[in-house]
Amino acid sequence: MKDVKKQNLPSKLCPICQRPFVWRKKWAKDWPNVIYCSEKCQRTAKQIRRQNQEKP
């Protein structure tokens, strides 16, 4: 993503907090697999999945 202005970076919508987030350098190698905007949203999603599995 060299020479790309910040306003032109790709973005996604976090399914947990419903906020848009933009590409970061630390996600450069794994951007297609990035789903959540933060570790907090990732943990919340994991808790939701766990709660759904516990319900019969």
Look at residue 2 and tell me whether its pLDDT is greater than 90. no
C-alpha radius of gyration, the chain, whole number = 14
Look at residue 56 and tell me whether its pLDDT is greater than 70. no
Residue 31's SS3 state is helix
Measure the CA–CA gap between 4 and 37, rounded to whole angstroms.
21
pLDDT of residue 4: 82
Instruction: Render pLDDT for 3-39 as a digit per residue (tens, 0 to 9).
Output: 888 889 999 999 999 999 999 999 999 999 999 999 9
Residue pair 44/14 in contact (Cβ under 8 Å)? The answer is no
Question: What Cα–Cα distance (Å) separates residue 39 from each residue in 4, 5, 23, 34?
Answer: 26, 26, 15, 11
Q: Which residues, other chains included, contact 31 with Cβ-Cβ below 8 Å and sequence gap of 6+?
A: 10, 23
